[in-house]
């Protein structure tokens, strides 16, 4: 049975690669606009931005256990979102996925 191709799937996958990949995905989805790519780009951008914000915060106020949490949660959220993009699903990242969709409305 052949799988149905989703428009914007490549853009959605690129968004999860790094923060730079998310920015590239934003520009790739400028024309034509795909809802699937927009959804995953917002999720990936939020995950990467959250990681960098907490890493910057923990570099100023060092807490060893906070770093453990950061380096456990980030890959888990990234993997969850990346698998969703690979499996053609629009699944929200746990806890913050709905917020990412609201906060990053500038990603069209």
Q: Classify residue 24: in a domain, yes or no.
A: yes
Q: Classify residue 1: in a domain, yes or no.
A: no
Q: Classify residue 74: in a domain, yes or no.
A: yes
Closest CA to 40 of 71, 18, 63, 8: 8
Structural domain for 53, as ranges: 9-103
Q: Classify residue 13: in a domain, yes or no.
A: yes
Q: Residues 4, 8, 39, 66: what is their CA dihedral angle, to the nearest 10 degrees?
A: 100
**How many beta carbons lie within 10 A of that of residue 100, not counting itself?**
22
CA distance 16 to 3: 22
Quick one: pLDDT band at residue 1, thresholds 50, 70, 90?
very low
Q: Classify residue 30: in a domain, yes or no.
A: yes
CA distances for 66 relative to 31, 32, 34, 60, 105, angstroms: 40, 41, 37, 12, 29
| pLDDT single digits (tens) 52-93 | 998 888 878 877 887 888 889 999 999 999 999 999 999 999
Task: Give pTM, 2 decimals.
Answer: 0.87
Q: Classify residue 64: in a domain, yes or no.
A: yes
């Amino acid at each position: 049975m052949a799988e149905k191709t989703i428009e914007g799937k490549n853009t959605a996958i690129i968004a999860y690669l790094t923060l730079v990949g998310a920015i590239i995905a934003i520009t790739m989805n400028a024309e034509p606009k795909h809802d699937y790519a927009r959804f995953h780009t917002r999720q990936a951008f939020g995950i990467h931005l959250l990681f960098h914000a907490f890493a910057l915060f923990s570099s100023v106020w060092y807490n060893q256990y906070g770093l453990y949490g950061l380096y456990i949660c980030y890959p888990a959220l990234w993997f969850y979102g990346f698998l969703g993009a690979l499996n053609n699903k629009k699944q929200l990242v746990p806890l913050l996925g709905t917020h990412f969709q609201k906060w990053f409305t500038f990603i069209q």
